[in-house]
């Protein structure tokens, strides 16, 4: 996926079991959609907490924060509670949406608990991608760049 392309549609349950659809999310404003490998891991926790810590900046820009992983709803619910995460985390257990976005890893890495590449998509309200942020080591660049891309 590259900037200018249309973001693939999805309908997935969040940590409460509520199904979230991309088209409904975009009706409320642009979306920073971040794929992460697994809840409760150090890097993913740091990344999600950075998105949490920038809540006021995202709200001021009218940008929604949405996380997505292959974790089950119940695990996402526990992670949300433990870290005070204040945005939807979507359960892509089948990996179908990760595959549609081109961030699903090969079968070997999926079997050892790394099913998804850490990638963020800044999605405009028309569904086009404004920016793609891919970094496995810089956990703060995802939120920072997505916010910058969707402010303009």
Question: In the annotation, is 49 catalytic?
Answer: no
Distance (Å) of CA 130 to CA 20, 54, 106, 152: 21, 19, 26, 10
Q: In this structure, are residues 108 and 125 in contact, taking their beta carbons and an 8 Å threshold?
A: no
Q: In this structure, are residues 56 and 78 in contact, taking their beta carbons and an 8 Å threshold?
A: no
- d(CA 52, CA 19) in angstroms, rounded, equals 21
Residues in the chain: 152
- Residue of 12, 44, 76, 129 with catalytic role: 44
List active site positions.
Answer: 44
């Amino acid at each position: 996926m590259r900037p200018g392309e249309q973001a693939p549609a999805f309908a997935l349950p969040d940590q409460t079991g509520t199904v979230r659809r991309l088209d409904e999310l975009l009706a409320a404003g642009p979306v920073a959609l971040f794929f992460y490998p697994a809840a409760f891991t150090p890097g993913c926790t740091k990344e999600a907490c950075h998105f949490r810590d920038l809540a006021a900046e995202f709200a001021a820009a009218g940008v929604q924060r949405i996380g997505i992983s292959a974790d089950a709803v119940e695990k996402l619910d526990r992670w949300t509670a433990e870290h005070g995460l204040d945005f939807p985390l979507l359960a892509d257990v089948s990996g179908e949406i990760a595959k549609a976005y081109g961030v699903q890893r090969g079968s070997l890495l999926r079997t050892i608990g790394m099913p998804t590449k850490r990638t963020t998509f800044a999605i405009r309200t028309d569904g086009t991608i404004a920016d793609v942020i891919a970094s496995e080591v810089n956990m703060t660049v995802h939120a920072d760049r997505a916010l910058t891309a969707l402010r303009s």
